[in-house]
Amino acid sequence: MKQKAWIQTLAVLAVASSITSTAYADTTNPDRAQDLTLTVSGTMKEKLDEKHALAKLHENVRVGKSTQAEEDQAFEKFVAKWGGIGLTASEKNKALKRENGITFNPQALYGSHYVPVSQLSQPNNYYCGPASATEIIRQIGVNPSLAMSDAANYLGTNTDGTVWSKRAITGSYYYPMADTLDYYSNSANNYAAEASPSAATFKSDVTYTIDKGYPVSADVVENANGTHLVGHPTNLTIYHWIAIDGYSASGDNTQYADSASGGQGFSTAWNTASIPTKSTLNSSTIAGMTSGRGIIW
């Protein structure tokens, strides 16, 4: 009897282990409590506030309340302080952007605008961060052959995934995705972390960044039985990074590339072959899914 009971116990443990490993990284929250912050502060807050001012000015230009010259002047001041590619960028940088199909003038006005990234499939179920970062960095053109593994190393990705924020030993917070995008693009866009954006802020940030010629990284939380990205299993709570590469309807709709499409190593709850490489959703819908983390724009 004792031997039979022990065998039964082993069988239960084996099943439990199988269940855990099957759904492991699909549902694991990569952000430890001590590392997660939705309050942007310090230098990142300073940059964020200045980018908000630029985005607002861009909105005013779009509706005729401000002039193009005012936006150009403000943008050049921002670049002079933070670095990156300005309106008077070198011909080399302009050529790199043209080769990737990007209009260089960041102040061009559009009803719809795309800076199309080349979608990459995840080689495992926790590489959405490295995949989306690589998609964005390759599109920017400074490192068009960046290896996904190099992005993963800089992001600090592990089997739990890629964190939204990280707490330094000094007590301050930093944002690995923003740091990685800036590092591998020579701060071309000076990416900033926007935690828990409202629908209006999300739309403003995305349209401004896309109009400048750069993709946006979004860290979404898809709650079980709630709103999900196209093709994702709705019975799971999923933490996922995506690359936003365009908008339509003057920013009311957002297009994104999904590295889960064709991804490997996912649980049987997923059918990654059926997930589109790119999808478009209402911007407020995606904004709602980023409210638990945020966007890097």
Q: Across residues 2-11, what is the average pLDDT?
A: 40
Q: How confident is the model at residue 101 (pLDDT cuts 50, 70, 90)?
A: low
For 109, half-sphere exposure in the C-beta direction (CA atoms, 13 angstrom radius) is: 12
Q: How far apart are CA 285 and CA 62, in angstroms?
A: 23
* Secondary structure of residue 220 in the 3-state scheme: strand
Query: What is the per-residue pLDDT across 200-226, written as a single tens digit (0 to 9) for each?
Result: 999 999 999 998 889 999 999 999 999
Tell me the angle at which helices 68-82 and 42-62 cross, rounded to the nearest 10 degrees: 160
64-86 per-residue burial string, b: 16 or more CB within 10 A, e: under 16: eebeeeebbebbeebbeebebbb
Q: What is the pLDDT of residue 100?
A: 53
Q: Across residues 132-161, what is the average pLDDT?
A: 96
Residue 107 has pLDDT above 50, yes or no: no
Q: Across residues 89-96, what is the average pLDDT?
A: 47
The letter for the amino acid at 78 is F
Q: Across residues 271-276, what is the average pLDDT?
A: 97
Q: Across residues 77-106, what is the average pLDDT?
A: 61
212 CB neighbour count, 10 Å cutoff = 25
Q: How confident is the model at residue 69 (pLDDT cuts 50, 70, 90)?
A: confident
Q: What is the pLDDT of residue 4?
A: 41
Domains in the chain: boundaries: 25-296
* Secondary structure of residue 137 in the 3-state scheme: helix
* Secondary structure of residue 25 in the 3-state scheme: helix
Query: Residue 221's beta-bridge partner residues?
Result: 239
Q: What is the pLDDT of residue 81?
A: 92
Averaged confidence pLDDT in the chain: 86
Query: What is the per-residue pLDDT across 19-31, written as a single tens digit (0 to 9) for each?
Result: 222 223 467 788 8
Q: How far apart are CA 253 and CA 250, in angstroms?
A: 8
Query: What is the per-residue pLDDT across 275-289, written as a single tens digit (0 to 9) for each?
Result: 999 999 999 999 999
With pLDDT > 70 as the criterion, what percentage of the chain qualifies?
83
Lowest pLDDT segment from 29-33, 121-125, 248-252, 258-262 = 29-33
Q: How far apart are CA 286 and CA 80, in angstroms?
A: 33
With pLDDT > 90 as the criterion, what percentage of the chain qualifies?
70
- What's the angle, vertex CA 58, arms to CA 56 and CA 62, rounded to 5? 115
Residue 8 has pLDDT above 50, yes or no: no
Q: Across residues 197-201, what is the average pLDDT?
A: 98
